[in-house]
Amino acid sequence: MHEYSIVQSLLNNCEENAGQNGSTKVTKVVVKIGVLSGVEPDLLQIAFDTFKENTICHDALFVINIQKVVIKCKTCGSTSTLEKHHYCCPLCESIDIDILDGEDMYLMQLELQ
């Protein structure tokens, strides 16, 4: 389960950011997970809850925002958010598209004390 290694890296990042800002506690961690990232939100939550003990994030609220797939059509130039895993432009039905968002996981926000 690679969610464990992701959470370990996330917790290290939180500690590093807190230290750089002179904080001793993280109260909230917000991440954005793309539906194509390969990260399972439920497993990530379990891993975070498991590994946050004995860290600067031990009382932190963990918020996961799911990012749908955002595409730009190379044929008609439109930008769209896909509601289904149907990888074509919803306007012109071209499959010549670029994925703009929804493939990655990002640390979006930390609340520090």
The per-residue pLDDT for 86 is 83
Is the four-CA dihedral 104, 18, 21, 28 of positive or negative sign? positive
Q: What is the pLDDT of residues 26-61, one digit of tens each?
A: 999 999 999 999 999 999 999 999 999 999 999 999
Q: What is the pLDDT of residues 55-107, one digit of tens each?
A: 999 999 999 999 999 999 999 999 999 988 888 999 999 999 999 999 999 99
- Per DSSP, the chain holds a count of helices (H) and strands (E) of 2, 6
pLDDT, position 1: 55
- Whether 97 and 80 have beta carbons less than 8 Å apart is answered as no
Domain locations along the chain: 3-112
Q: What is the pLDDT of residue 87?
A: 87
The CATH class that applies to domain 3-112 reads: alpha beta
Both tokens of 98, joined, read: 């670029």
The pLDDT score that the predictor gives to residue 2 is 82
What pLDDT does residue 85 have? 80
Given its phi and psi angles, is residue 54 left (phi above 0), alpha (psi -120 to 50 degrees) or beta? Answer: left
